[in-house]
Chain A
């Protein structure tokens, strides 16, 4: 078996001596370029969209026929333009793109998702979702464990672009011993040379030596981290420089929308055939304790437009069958709005699964708006059931091993 770390160790010398694209990258490119309908399960890509701050689920998938909703939300309720999914529930008026996907059978909505003994702290609850550990919130990220698994079974394309996140930080759910690359721009992802009288002095080799020597010193705080990260960075930048000219977006992404820019960057990385398996983007700003409506309306509009462009772009590149998008948030909001025309921290909320791999429709029980727990919804589907269904049903990975327990499988995905 050829593990990533072996690769890093052994692959470096040929990579940087000749600065050619190593064969393993070339294979990744060839596989992606083939873009075959017979893609193996390991070619499947999961894109996570984190709605950070606690998305107001009741104003996302709206129980418009329930009087209790209108009573609880005197100023925040959506009266006009709700996009009905059935006679009881509808999508927020700004989710028109998602509604079209729902109608096309490409959007699964899981209702009332949460976990037992909900934690109302942003950070404790985020950790729970990120690690899939409801007791401690400690450990590798659940998708970091998946990336580890790919390494272990040798299905890994063996480089640092297998897990990517848009932004400057790697999200905890992707963390494990497998490296993950935070991307801000494909074009700037490279080490600048030193200038000397109009010529350029390459500094990769000396820096590699410095970092390797520091790692070997005693003690060398963070030596292994710094050395491995530099190696990953240079490998990834070589791979990116070999491919970044090929991408042309096949959809118009909204301007001035950070979530659209993030998803476009993910699309570029996927289309460039860099071997991405898991990608992560964040849309923040959902912690609306006050004057929620204009903020939340705008966030959902941005989300909808960005996701629509992303899906159209991937389809335009013939990659629609290989990409599943899943949204999550650390919790929903309190059922009853507060006195500031906002909502305080809550519990259960819906999740979206979007894309051609999905069997569209509504899943799970909508939580009752009258039988509450301290003013909060009682969850009806455990988030780990959704994770398990995605891991097993889509990524074809051993869900119970990766989640440390067995959870009900939901038929959210095509075989």
Chain B
């Protein structure tokens, strides 16, 4: 074997690196001895000496402890709770305690977003068909880049990926309206959010509650509410699906034949099935709200949502103790999502080595963080929306009701090339000119100043050979594997 990583086949791609059985970690744990052995093995394979020396240095280099510096902790939090940070933001957050950082991120209601709102193009919701899809997509991406309330946008993205609707069925104005609902209720009580969602026009079109009427039940929403939005599979029966579908009757859309364009829903008692329903062992004249009130308190819901939130913000597959603590908080706080998110950011696990760079940037995150770094103009958002699509994430258009598969699924040969070409294009179009940024400033802001020595050498060599090509240098930083991670 020349080096351990090759011995780790992509078969283990679905597992996190720290769960992988042996090889690399074992080799690396032995430190210099392992590195030397690897170098000797490489020599035996005929690699040239400089490559071997690179490898020895890189093996000796480690990311452990990176999260012990205040600036890297701030960068980590702002990547997870938002879409990356500027150098000035990093300076400001690095001066805070962890608790102050968390509160600053969470209490965004106190921060004015007027500057963003003034910049955003006005979306006309009053005309017959409302805005087109591209306008709404660019509008959201611009919000991610320019918001003064990063967590508000990040939670909106979280809800969009969990409580999915999509442009394949719903209209752009409806998706915009739902997006505003997620923003408004980003950290609200989960039962309140689900009750609002059940009457949300985009959701009513996407999962067919707008056709679900007395005597004509449609199971689509009821099933996905349980399978994907609350308890998960295994906690309900097919009979529960059928019965709860009846409870969600009664809500309908205004606007007759213009179902994809209306953004209002109303309750029509004539459409409501007021008969007795038996749901999870209880019988009554249940409404949709009643079903939500029976599902949200279930432990399965608490654990599932806690797992999703932790996996979204920290790292996938949390230990049962973490899930238990978060689920307790959820249940003891009347299902308050903000409380759970606050607890995640307060956990040691959130700043643990296991969490560092443990997520792959989603295309939307990559696009928004790149535009934050390069600067952007109005045209950049539309281009970034298209690039995000080619990287596997069409905003407002998840592949199906389960949302995006995320994690390692973001990375394949096609999406990786698209990522690299996207950051290249963004760097070339950079505004304003970044000529004042030194290499250290770029790497400190974008990749925590925490790169392999080989990569640092490579960047310095590029800078030396292409001293006037600032866009090229920025591309080189954005193209590092470290920047692909969050």
How far is A374 from B390 in the complex, measured between Cα atoms in Å? 42
Interface membership of B411, Cβ < 8 A:
yes
Which residues does chain A contribute within 8 Å of B458, judged by CB atoms?
206, 209-210, 213
The interface stretch among B13-21, B144-152, B297-305 is B13-21
Question: Which of B217, B238, B389, B412 counts the most A-chain CB atoms under 10 A from its CB?
Answer: B412
Q: When A192-B425, A210-B479 are in contact, do A122 and B64 touch as well, CB less than 8 Å?
A: no
Interface membership of B213, Cβ < 8 A:
yes
Task: Kindly identify which residue among A201, A223, A290 contacts B17, using a CB–CB cutoff of 8 Å.
Answer: A223
Q: Kindly provide the distance from the CB of A198 to the nearest chain B CB, expressed in whole angstroms.
A: 12
Task: Kindly identify which residue among B2, B418, B481 contacts A210, using a CB–CB cutoff of 8 Å.
Answer: B481
Q: When A177-B9, A289-B219 are in contact, do A233 and B58 touch as well, CB less than 8 Å?
A: no
Q: Kindly provide the distance from the CB of B191 to the nearest chain A CB, expressed in whole angstroms.
A: 23
Q: When A120-B238, A121-B227 are in contact, do A233 and B63 touch as well, CB less than 8 Å?
A: no
Assess the B218–A344 pair: CB atoms within 8 A: yes
Task: Kindly identify which residue among A236, A287, A289, A339 contacts B413, using a CB–CB cutoff of 8 Å.
Answer: A236
As a 0/1 sequence over residues 451 to 481 of chain B, the CB contacts with chain A under 8 angstroms (1 = contact) are 0111100100110001001011001100111
How far is A121 from B224 in the complex, measured between Cα atoms in Å? 9
Of all chain A residues, the one with the shortest Cβ separation from B29 is A218
Interface membership of B408, Cβ < 8 A:
yes
How far is A339 from B306 in the complex, measured between Cα atoms in Å? 36
Interface membership of A291, Cβ < 8 A:
yes
Assess the A218–B59 pair: CB atoms within 8 A: yes
Q: When A201-B472, A214-B480, A236-B413 are in contact, do A344 and B452 touch as well, CB less than 8 Å?
A: no
Assess the B402–A123 pair: CB atoms within 8 A: yes
Give the size range of A's interface with the partner. Answer: 35 or more
Assess the A218–B61 pair: CB atoms within 8 A: yes
Q: When A201-B466, A225-B10 are in contact, do A214 and B452 touch as well, CB less than 8 Å?
A: yes
Interface membership of B362, Cβ < 8 A:
no
The interface stretch among A84-92, A98-106, A183-191 is A183-191
Q: When A122-B401, A217-B63 are in contact, do A169 and B409 touch as well, CB less than 8 Å?
A: yes
How far is A183 from B390 in the complex, measured between Cα atoms in Å? 10
Task: Kindly identify which residue among B3, B219, B428 contacts A344, using a CB–CB cutoff of 8 Å.
Answer: B219
Interface membership of A219, Cβ < 8 A:
yes
How far is A124 from B401 in the complex, measured between Cα atoms in Å? 13
Assess the B413–A195 pair: CB atoms within 8 A: no
Which residues does chain A contribute within 8 Å of B443, judged by CB atoms?
none
Assess the A222–B412 pair: CB atoms within 8 A: no
Q: List the count of A-B residue pairs having beta carbons below 8 Å apart.
A: 243
How far is A237 from B469 in the complex, measured between Cα atoms in Å? 26
Q: Kindly provide the distance from the CB of B274 to the nearest chain A CB, expressed in whole angstroms.
A: 16
Assess the B469–A122 pair: CB atoms within 8 A: no
Interface membership of B160, Cβ < 8 A:
no
Assess the B17–A219 pair: CB atoms within 8 A: yes
Q: When A344-B219, A374-B238 are in contact, do A210 and B455 touch as well, CB less than 8 Å?
A: yes
Chain B residues touching A, majority SS: helix
Give the size range of B's interface with the partner. Answer: 35 or more
Assess the A5–B454 pair: CB atoms within 8 A: no
Assess the B414–A207 pair: CB atoms within 8 A: no
Assess the B10–A122 pair: CB atoms within 8 A: no
How far is A164 from B182 in the complex, measured between Cα atoms in Å? 37
Assess the B413–A179 pair: CB atoms within 8 A: yes
Interface membership of B177, Cβ < 8 A:
no
The interface stretch among B82-90, B338-346, B353-361 is B353-361
Which B residues from 14 to 60 make CB contacts under 8 A with A?
Answer: 14, 16-18, 24-25, 28, 54-55, 58-59
Interface membership of B212, Cβ < 8 A:
yes
Of all chain A residues, the one with the shortest Cβ separation from B38 is A216
Assess the B411–A9 pair: CB atoms within 8 A: no
Assess the B208–A290 pair: CB atoms within 8 A: yes
Assess the A181–B414 pair: CB atoms within 8 A: yes
Which residues does chain A contribute within 8 Å of B5, judged by CB atoms?
215-216, 220, 223-224, 227
Which residues does chain A contribute within 8 Å of B476, judged by CB atoms?
194, 203, 206
Interface membership of B124, Cβ < 8 A:
no
Assess the B11–A340 pair: CB atoms within 8 A: no
Q: Kindly provide the distance from the CB of B237 to the nearest chain A CB, expressed in whole angstroms.
A: 11
Assess the B414–A189 pair: CB atoms within 8 A: yes
As a 0/1 sequence over residues 299 to 329 of chain B, the CB contacts with chain A under 8 angstroms (1 = contact) are 0000000000000000000000000000000
Of all chain B residues, the one with the shortest Cβ separation from A124 is B233
Assess the B392–A168 pair: CB atoms within 8 A: yes
Q: When A192-B421, A194-B475 are in contact, do A224 and B8 touch as well, CB less than 8 Å?
A: yes
Assess the B400–A216 pair: CB atoms within 8 A: no
Q: 10 closest Cβ contacts across the A-B interface?
A: A339-B216, A340-B211, A233-B413, A213-B454, A177-B11, A213-B452, A214-B481, A182-B414, A290-B211, A218-B28
B interface residue numbers (CB < 8 A to A):
2-3, 5-6, 8-11, 13-14, 16-18, 24-25, 28, 54-55, 58-59, 61-64, 168, 207-208, 210-213, 215-220, 223, 227, 233, 238, 241, 353, 356-358, 360, 389-392, 399-402, 405, 408-409, 411-418, 420-421, 424-425, 428, 452-455, 458, 461-462, 466, 469, 471-472, 475-476, 479-482, 484-485
Question: Could you list 10 examples of A-B contacts with CB < 8 Å?
Answer: A179-B413, A184-B418, A191-B417, A209-B454, A213-B54, A225-B408, A229-B411, A341-B211, A342-B208, A342-B218
